[in-house]
Structure 1
């Protein structure tokens, strides 16, 4: 019986942690990171500020809990590049994997565009991960012995995919499937257009 109660507590705890992250994402996006208090986040979830501190030690810790999954996703995609053949199917697979991770976190997009400076400051210790993942993906997409044009096309393709993070603003009623199809097609078109030249 005690084991069952303990496991319920863990599930409830992880549910509360997720609810806190979701409320913070919404409030930070609507009001801004600096302008939102932890009291407001706790009130939105229906818990005490002390309960919030049990899950997240600071507002910065909470912000990083929102941002870290996106950075971790970028790292995962870049770490797996060596295992994927660099052909048309492989390129579409990599771009699709990268894009689906961004779509999964597109609720964070408003926050990212509204509070870019706060996020850059908060994620300074993760900056090498972001930079390394981005460089690896760019180099892989551009290909070996890439021309300047190839490098630019790779950069443009990645930027097209990043539109997913602001897609809630661009197409508020747009489904995940629509965002994925349009952005993936646009990114692959940019890359393949260079092959025709």
Structure 2
């Protein structure tokens, strides 16, 4: 017989899990992943360390909860490429979709900026897929029979969109709409300046 949990308890559990993740993003970003203890994260949320372990079995699991949604979003954009026409509107839609995932997760930007080594080590099992997805997206943006210039422009456009993750560091007062419109226009210009799109 299954044990039933009251809806308020389930909602509170989800709220606690999100609060733990949000506190970890702030602390990892400010102090660094290695320098932040799970005790500090638990204290920031106002729970015991045992309660934190109920939601996240380890610090690496907590890091995965922060980084996995970014990677999953990128994979979903690449997974849908076959359904998008490769014309100016389609390219802009793909760039916008990719960018929106970055903007949505830009709270993790300080962590990405400061703890690249910790993130790469923690994500070693997903790294090959991430590299493959990035390559697929760059090739799609560059187009069939792409010149070296088109390949460079596609890579530069994606690099520009990646700035969204660090935008809270570079432009803390910029809201999501400004980040999206500025970086989308910049990436589109990079692609179209050479007639690639």
What displacement does 1:9 show? 1.2
Aligned residue in 2 for 1:10: 10
Superposition map of 1:13-52 within 5 A: 13-52=13-52
Aligned residue in 2 for 1:107: 107
Aligned residue in 2 for 1:87: 87
CA distance in 2, matches of 1:13, 1:129: 31
TM-score, normalised relative to structure 2: 0.96
Runs ≥4 residues deviating over 4 A: none
Aligned residue in 1 for 2:56: 56
Aligned residue in 2 for 1:130: 130
The structure where helix makes up a greater share of residues is 1
Aligned residue in 2 for 1:74: 74
Are residue 117 (structure 1) and residue 130 (structure 2) matched?
Answer: no
What displacement does 1:10 show? 1.1
Provide the aligned length of Structure 1 versus Structure 2. Answer: 194
3-state SS in 1 of match to 2:14: helix
CA distance in 2, matches of 1:175, 1:34: 30
Give RMSD over aligned pairs.
1.2
What displacement does 1:129 show? 2.0
TM-score, normalised relative to structure 1: 0.96
Aligned residue in 1 for 2:167: 167
CA distance in 2, matches of 1:31, 1:162: 22
What displacement does 1:13 show? 0.6
Unmatched segments (≥5 aa) in structure 2: none
What displacement does 1:8 show? 1.4
Unmatched segments (≥5 aa) in structure 1: none
CA distance in 2, matches of 1:133, 1:117: 20
- Asked whether the equivalents of residues 71 and 129 of structure 1 are also in contact (C-alpha less than 8 Å), the reply is no
What displacement does 1:53 show? 0.3
Are residue 149 (structure 1) and residue 149 (structure 2) matched?
Answer: yes
What displacement does 1:104 show? 0.2
What displacement does 1:132 show? 1.5
CA distance in 2, matches of 1:61, 1:154: 33
